[in-house]
Amino acid sequence: MDRLVTVIGIDPGELRSIRTLVSLLRHPDPNIPEITRQALGYLVDMAGRQADPEPDRIPPRDHQANPAS
């Protein structure tokens, strides 16, 4: 029995992908959900990097030149 659930921000065209994602996360083989979570984490990281307008402008603190040495 199908039930209609409205979710703000989900385009009807994305539902197939969401269903696939949920089925992978609920897969009985424990490796499949773990790989899916890792892939989602990778996608989130990559999306965050693309959203950053100039990620290389300020170097990370532990890579800055130390003037005292």
Q: Evaluate whether residue 58 is within a structural domain.
A: no
pLDDT at residue 69, as a whole number: 46
Query: Quick check: 22 and 14 in contact, CB under 8 A?
Result: no
Q: Rounded CA gap, 9 and 26, in Å?
A: 22
Half-sphere exposure of 50 (CA within 13 A, CB side): 6
pLDDT exceeds 70 at position 49: yes
Query: What is the domain range of residue 42?
Result: 17-48
Q: Evaluate whether residue 21 is within a structural domain.
A: yes
Q: Evaluate whether residue 2 is within a structural domain.
A: no
User: What does the mean pLDDT of the chain come to?
Assistant: 80
> pLDDT category, 12, cuts 50, 70, 90?
confident
Higher pLDDT, 27 or 4: 27
Number of domains in the chain: 1
| Helix runs in the chain, H state only | 15-25, 31-51
pTM: predicted TM-score of the whole model, two decimal places: 0.58
Segment 3-7 mean pLDDT? 72
